[in-house]
């Protein structure tokens, strides 16, 4: 694996300091899906080619990652990619259907379908294009802000591989958990074994933080979550940290974002991640009481709040910052930006975080 070296010196480390739990002069902010269709320049860059071809072009990924930073004084960049490149690298076909989302023509149906999957050890050789995109972007960022790498968590990837796309109930994937628990664990182990070297490879390529997306946590109740999601979330963090150390790479902060996983907040706070991301259904003050002072919290403005007036966005941000408190906190949305959002309102959100968090520290 390439060793991250010769990158420009980091000029703004506020996001990393907050992630590690150190004091910051203001609250850092970034947005999930900040490189997205709400930006006209994104739609223009993306128009030329199909979604996964874009993911496989380091130059395109770099350009898309940098676009929001040209507009807004964000405190972090997140590499443009997709969580489904991992199932692809395991040999599954995935297409992005415009207006519908991801589609797997041949989802996993039976236990024996697991034999179709490639050896997880080969995944990193399939995903070199992501590492190239990270290295190129890290160079092009010229030290402006840190670059975040990411991946989908095992349960969330499993849902796509079995459902064959999005689903409102995840009934097929959950049927596996109840009817094929052994095969489910086997699949989740395969995914974990693929994710660990993939995330380590991202750091080797230049990623300065990692976020694990457990986007479908909410479809599991506390019992299923603690049996089929949490052990693998823990395992990813533990093994990535150990592998980084073995490879002689500096540790990076890790973020776990389990959407609608509020029932497991305490467990997630002790799962080995420096940062716990919250969606907008969680009250910040209660979350802080529940997780204590040991982790940084990230979130959690309702993305739809960006449909409000700029004045109202300012008020909502002020309330959110007051509730989270000034330290051990990274501002974000509670989910990704939607395609029909006004970039000016995203700018108002970012500016309000910076402005109000500095005021909070003066008082």
Give the active site residues.
33, 37, 46, 82, 160
Name 183's bridge partners.
none
Q: Are 67 and 35 in contact (CB under 8 A)?
A: yes
CA–CA separation, 173 and 127 (whole Å) = 25
Q: Are 273 and 255 in contact (CB under 8 A)?
A: yes
Structural element, H or E, at residue 361: helix 343-362
Q: Are 137 and 7 in contact (CB under 8 A)?
A: no
Comparing CA positions, the residue from 55, 34, 24 lying closest to residue 350 is 34
Q: Greatest CA span in the chain, whole angstroms? A: 62
Number of other residues whose CB lies within 10 A of the CB of residue 45: 17
What is the spatial order of strands in the sheet that 254-258 belongs to?
77-78, 147-152, 209-214, 254-258, 275-277, 296-301, 329-333
Q: Report residue 282 as tokens.
A: 């969680």
Q: What is the dihedral of CA 180, 185, 187, 189, to 10 degrees?
A: -170
Angle at which helices 181-205 and 171-179 cross, to 10°: 120
């Amino acid at each position: 694996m390439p060793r991250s070296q010769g990158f420009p010196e980091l000029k703004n480390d506020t996001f990393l300091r907050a992630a590690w739990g150190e004091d910051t002069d203001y609250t850092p902010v970034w947005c999930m899906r900040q490189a997205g269709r709400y930006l006209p320049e994104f739609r223009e860059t993306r128009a030329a080619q199909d979604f996964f071809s874009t993911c496989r072009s380091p130059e395109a990924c770099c350009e898309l990652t940098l676009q929001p930073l040209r507009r807004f004084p964000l405190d972090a960049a997140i590499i443009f990619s997709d969580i489904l490149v991992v199932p692809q690298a395991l040999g599954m076909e995935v297409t992005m259907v415009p207006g519908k989302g991801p589609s797997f023509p041949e989802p996993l149906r039976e236990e024996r379908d697991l034999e179709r999957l490639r050896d997880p050890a080969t995944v990193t050789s399939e995903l070199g294009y992501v590492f190239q995109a990270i290295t190129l972007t890290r160079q092009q960022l010229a030290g402006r802000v840190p670059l975040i790498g990411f991946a989908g968590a095992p349960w969330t990837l499993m849902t796509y591989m079995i459902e064959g796309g999005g689903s409102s109930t995840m009934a097929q994937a959950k049927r596996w958990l109840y009817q094929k628990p052994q095969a489910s664990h086997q699949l989740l182990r395969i995914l974990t074994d693929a994710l660990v070297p993939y995330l380590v490879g991202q750091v080797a390529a230049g990623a300065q933080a990692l976020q694990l997306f457990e986007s479908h946590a909410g479809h599991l109740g506390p019992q299923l979550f603690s049996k089929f999601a949490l052990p693998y979330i823990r395992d990813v963090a533990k093994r990535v940290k150990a592998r980084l150390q073995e490879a002689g790479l500096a540790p990076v902060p890790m973020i776990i974002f389990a959407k609608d996983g509020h029932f497991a907040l305490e467990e997630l706070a002790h799962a080995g991640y420096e940062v716990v991301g919250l969606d907008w259904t969680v009250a910040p003050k209660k979350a802080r009481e529940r997780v204590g002072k040991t982790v940084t919290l990230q979130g959690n403005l309702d993305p739809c709040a960006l449909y409000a007036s700029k004045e109202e966005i300012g008020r909502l941000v002020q309330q959110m910052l007051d509730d989270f408190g000034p330290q051990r906190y990274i501002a974000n949305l509670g989910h990704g930006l939607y395609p029909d959002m006004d970039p000016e309102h995203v700018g108002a959100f970012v500016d309000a975080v910076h402005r109000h968090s500095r005021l909070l520290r003066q008082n």
